[in-house]
Amino acid sequence: MSRTTVTLTNARLIDPETGEETLGGLTLEDGLITARHEGVAEGIDCGGMCLAPGIVDIGVKICEPGERHKESFGSAGAAAAAGGVTTMVTRPDTEPTIDNPETLEFVARRAREASPVRVLPMAALTKGRAGREMTEIGFLMDAGAVAFTDGDHVVSDTKALSRALTYARSRGALLVGHVQEPILSAGAAATSGKFASLRGLPAVSPMAERMGLDRDIALLEMTGARYHVDQITTARALPALERAKRNGLDITAGVSIHHLTLNELDVADYRTFFKVKPPLRSEDDRMAVVQAVASGLIDIICSMHTPQDEESKRLPFEAAASGAVGLQTLLPAAMRLVHSGDLSLPQLWRALSLNPSRRLGLDSGRLSVGAPADLVLFDPDAPFVLDRFKLLSKSRNTPFDEARMQGRVQATWVGGTQVFGDPLGGPQ
Amino acid sequence: MGFRQDHLLGIEQLAPDEIGEILDLADDYVALSRSADKHGDALKGLTQINMFFENSTRTQASFELAGKRLGADVMNMGLEASSIKKGETLVDTAMTLNAMQPDLLVVRHPHSGAVDLLAQKVNCAVLNAGDGRHEHPTQALLDALTIRRKKGRLHRLSIAICGDIAHSRVARSNLILLGKMENRLRLVGPPTLMPAGMAELGCEVFEDMEEGLRDVDVVMMLRLQKERMDGGFIPSEREYYHLFGLDAEKLAHAKPDAIVMHPGPMNRGVEIDGSIADDINRSVIQEQVEMGVAVRMAAMDLLARNLRARRAAA
């Protein structure tokens, strides 16, 4: 599509950098935002809808290589574009693991060929995600790895992890950790408490998260590495995170949209689409984590997009696979937090776009002149009932099937090119 | 009102009047089973398949006998979960069986919720014969019938459920049923075998056996589920027996006319002393087995009535 000048006007600009909402518009040119104006001007009329920086989603699972029947770069990219996600930061927990530069280059090429949105790959921290030997962090960074993670495999060998963190620090690499204490969490399908007890499900204490976090914080004090926690989901982990930040450690934290909008009771009669990792928490935990996003203690909201086919979900709850798709439902689900009064739109976009961009050293996440023209235009109030069979992902394992939602993406631009929505005026 | 269920998946779904209706009908079937001609025809022409993904002798025999006494054609399928895993998923197996047009499917499975899942995929009546650590509704119903016949009522009793509650589906179904019927529930056991959140359910939790048994009307012992344990819940069986095994000394803290129950099979000398188990004045363990057949006859009869009504309407 065109790379010529486009001016969008009469939009509600959601600016996470200033924390303000204003009526105005943007001019896009050569992939960048080149001008910003107040009020209404000549150009494409956005009808007063919200215009915000595109979402940067850290932790997307795309099942290439290995399980393309679950998700490909093409299908995930289409879902992302439809969901206002302009950058997918992908996970290395594929088959085989993305733990060497050659595999990473394959992934990067597939992404370039097939995805309409930006793809930034993460690589494994240890070879085969086995938790023993570190990967070629330097080569992988040269090949384009933006962060290193073993996904939900916790490196339980503390000596191996301390070495990897020390080495990563010397290369300036960002590590993404999963902080659920692995032995206590083994086999758990739910969070311990009344609900899990009545359902007879193997459960883990929410304290497992704090234990894992405490250990990793101690390792950060030792090594000074750059570290992001993939998901903080419990109230008991928050004071430790707060202290670590106050003590000046280079730590940030994320949370999945599912842990912000659902709780353990949603599992009801063993609905396996609600089986995620870590398991859904109590309502008290959910509320505490929402507050932590509002206060900025938790920096980043992600979809933790994890495609699973019907066969791996159509099993008894404890035997079913974990994970939910989220690229396309992240924005409307997150709008629940705005409609409930917990977050303002700029606060929400700070967590969806500005903070993840900053953490990865990207220029995006802003509406300032000179920033990439990665944008999403959405109607914040448009109501709809989600039909999972209309999702663009190859896998449709969403917990929001038949849920009432508000917030519909109208158009998405990546580098000034419209990648989703009905063509909006101007030269196409 | 009447019995309104399409399946018997758990006690949780039953209203008190439905529990009462099953027990009333089961009383009739106790009489039938004690008569010279033990045959009814409530299930005549119906096919009952017992699918046991987990080993069981007693429960399977009880369901088989219950079906045969009421005229059903009964087939037993022993399906260890591991052999299923080779090819078919649980849902595949269910669909295959469904195509054989069964009317009553009795299912036991090692995973909590597996029977609920199966019930969604078939169009016959499904009975849960135990799923993981979740529910075992016919066991709770037979326990209720035993208590009602021995104590003359099923409400305002003080009942202690003792032992390995964490791994027990019998305990879950029983505490739901006895709670619905407005009894006072005490859970007794080592904290490592006590599930989280029990106090929130309105149960009193005790870590001391004598304290827990004080003045109760009913003592329900549970089997120590060694096969469900993944290690290290108790230091040893002898220490467990010392602290939580039911012997005459501990039982003396219950009411003098308290009855002793056990779902079987028993580990004598682990959770219960042999002399208590065999004491015909206190132990009702043999009656429980007898009530089991009657309760299963009643449950299948009521489900079959609803199944026939549904099919006639369709």
Side-chain half-sphere exposure of B290, counting CA atoms within 13 A: 15
pLDDT tens figures, A343-389? 999 999 999 999 999 999 999 999 999 999 999 999 999 999 999 99
Residues of B in contact with A200 (CB under 8 A): 112-113, 131-135, 169, 172
CB contact under 8 A, A316 and B200: no
Quote the Cα angle for B286-A198-B295, to 5°: 30
Report the residue from A194, A201, A311 with minimal CB separation from B112. A201
Structural domain boundaries in chain A: 54-366+381-405
Mean pLDDT of the A132-144 span: 98
The H or E element that residue A79 is part of is helix A73-82
Residue of A nearest to B195 (CA): A197
pLDDT value at position A299? Answer: 98
B74's tokens: 């009964």
Question: pLDDT confidence of A410, banded at 50, 70, 90?
Answer: very high
Binned at pLDDT 50, 70 and 90, residue A1 comes out as: very low
Give the catalytic positions of B in this structure: 58-59, 86, 108, 136
pLDDT at B90: 82
Pairing status of strand A32-38 against strand A20-29: antiparallel
- B211 and B165 within one domain: yes
Burial of B249: CB neighbours in 10 Å, binned 0-12, 13-18, 19+:
exposed
Chain A: residue nearest B117 by CA?
Answer: A316
> Residue B308: which domain range?
7-133+289-313
Per the CB < 8 A criterion, the answer to whether B249 and B165 are in contact is no
Compute the C-alpha angle A213/A219/A222, nearest 5°: 150
In a domain, B121, yes or no: yes
B156 & B22 share domain: no
Q: For residues B88 and B66, what is the distance between their CA atoms, to the nearest angstrom?
A: 29
- Note whether A316 contacts B90, CB cutoff 8 Å: yes
What is the model's pLDDT at position B91? 84
Q: Residue A276 pLDDT > 50, yes or no?
A: yes
Written as six digits, the tokens of A85 are 């996600």
pLDDT at A426 over 50: no
| B169 contacts chain A (CB < 8 A) | yes
Do B157 and B50 lie in a common domain?
no
B111 at interface of A, judged by CB pairs closer than 8 A: yes
Q: Is the peptide bond before A278 cis (omega within 30 degrees of 0)?
A: yes
Give domain status of residue B1, yes or no: no
Q: What is the arithmetic mean of pLDDT over A68-83?
A: 97
Does one domain contain both B300 and B221? Answer: no
Q: Does B58 carry a binding-site annotation?
A: yes
DSSP alpha helices (H): ranges in A98-190?
101-114, 137-142, 158-171, 182-185
Identity of the residue in B113, B200, B201 whose CB atom sits nearest the CB atom of A270: B113
Whether B238 and B128 map to the same domain: the answer is no
Q: Is any Cβ of chain A less than 8 angstroms from the Cβ of B201?
A: yes
SS3 per-residue string spanning A225-243: CEEEECCCCCHHHHHHHHH
Categorize the per-residue pLDDT at B5 as very low, low, confident or very high, splitting at 50, 70 and 90. Answer: very high
Which of B13, B117, B170, B225 is best to mutate for the A interface (most A CBs within 10 A)?
A: B117
Distance from CA of A317 to the nearest CA of B (A): 7
Confidence band (pLDDT; 50, 70, 90) for A428? very low
Domain count, chain B: 2
Closest residue of B to A267, CA-based? B113
**Integer Cα distance of A105 and A95 in angstroms:** 15
Taking an 8 Å cut-off on Cβ atoms, the answer to whether A198 and B201 are in contact is yes
C-beta neighbour count of A325 within 10 angstroms? 31
Model confidence band, residue A181 (pLDDT cutoffs 50, 70, 90): very high
Instruction: Say if residue B186 is in the same domain as residue B124.
Output: no
Q: Which two structure tokens, joined as six digits, stand for B216?
A: 């109760």
Residue B289 in contact with residue B62, Cβ under 8 Å? Answer: yes
Per-residue pLDDT, B88: 67
Could you tell me what percent of chain A has a pLDDT over 70? 98
Q: What pLDDT sits at residue A425?
A: 58
- pLDDT given for residue B87 in this prediction: 55
Is residue B260 located within the same domain as residue B297?
no
pLDDT above 80 (res A175): yes
Residue type, A288: A
Q: Which pLDDT belongs to residue B101? A: 94
- B111, A198: Cβ pair inside 8 Å? no
pLDDT digits (tens, 9 = 90+) for B211-250: 999 999 999 999 998 776 667 899 999 999 999 999 999 9
Average pLDDT of A311-318? 93
How much is the pLDDT for A395? 97
Give me the pLDDT at residue B89, please. Answer: 76
Nearest Cα of chain B lies from the Cα of A287 at a distance, in angstroms, of: 20
B107 and B197 together in one domain: no
Q: Is B59 annotated as a binding residue?
A: yes
CB contact under 8 A, A200 and B131: yes
- Asked, for residue B106, whether it belongs to a domain, the answer is yes
Report yes or no: A183 at the B interface, CB cutoff 8 Å. no
Cβ burial of A214 (10 Å; 0-12, 13-18, 19+) is middle
**Partner residue facing A197 (CB), from B90, B114, B197:** B197
Alpha carbon of A146: minimum distance to chain B alpha carbons (Å)? 39
Question: Do B109 and B158 belong together in one domain?
Answer: no
- B119 shares a domain with B41: yes
Would you call A201 and B201 a contact, using CB atoms and an 8 Å cutoff?
Answer: no
| Residue of A184, A191, A192, A199 for testing the chain B interface, max B β-carbons within 10 Å | A199
CA distance A354 to A368: 12
- Domain A54-366+381-405 CATH class label: alpha beta
Residue type, A92: P
**Which of residues 4 through 23 in chain B touch A, CB cutoff 8 A?**
12
Least confident of A3-12, A42-51, A388-397: A3-12
**A187 touching B (Cβ < 8 Å):** yes
Distance from CA of A299 to the nearest CA of B (A): 32
Look at residue A102 and tell me whether its pLDDT is greater than 90. Answer: yes
pLDDT band, residue B97 (cuts 50/70/90): confident
On whether both B61 and B88 belong to a single domain, the answer is: yes
Whether the per-residue pLDDT at A416 is higher than 90: the answer is yes
- Residue B101 Cα distances to A41, B9, B124, B232, angstroms: 70, 20, 8, 45
Q: Determine whether the interchain pair A197/B196 forms a contact, defined as Cβ–Cβ distance below 8 Å.
A: yes
Whether residues A200 and B135 touch (CB distance < 8 A) is answered with: yes
Residue A409 has pLDDT above 60, yes or no: yes
* Residue among B116, B169, B200 minimizing CB distance to A269: B116
Share the mean pLDDT of chain B.
94
For residue B114, which residues of chain A lie inside 8 Å, CB to CB? 316
Look at residue B2 and tell me if it is in a domain.
Answer: no
What pLDDT is recorded for position A344?
98
* Beta carbon pairs, A and B, within 8 Å: 74
Answer yes or no: is B264 a known binding residue: yes
Q: What interface predicted TM-score (ipTM) does this complex get?
A: 0.90
Residue with tokens 């119903």: B141
B108 is in an annotated binding site: yes
Chain B residues touching residue A201 (CB < 8 angstroms): 112-113, 132-134
Please indicate, yes or no, whether residues B188 and B262 belong to a single structural domain of this protein: yes
**B41 touching chain A per CB within 8 A:** no
The percentage of residues in chain B with a pLDDT greater than 90, rounded to a whole number, is 87
CB-based contact, A267 to chain B, within 8 Å: no
**Of B11, B91, B93, B111, which to mutate for an interface test with A (greatest number of A Cβ within 10 Å)?**
B111
Q: Which helix (H) or strand (E) holds A13?
A: strand A6-15
- The terminus-to-terminus CA distance of chain A in angstroms comes to 6
Residue B136 is labelled as binding a ligand: yes
HSE of B252, CA atoms in CB hemisphere, 13 A: 4
- Is B139 a known ligand-binding residue? yes
HSE-CB of B17 using CA atoms within 13 angstroms: 5
* Residue A274 touches chain B, beta carbons under 8 Å: no
Cis peptide before B265 (omega within 30 of 0): yes
When the pLDDT of each residue in chain A is averaged and rounded to a whole number, the result is: 96
> Tell me, what CATH number does B14's domain have?
3.40.50.1370
Look at residue B55 in the predicted model and tell me its pLDDT: 85
B218: enclosing H helix or E strand: strand B218-221
A310 has pLDDT over 70: yes
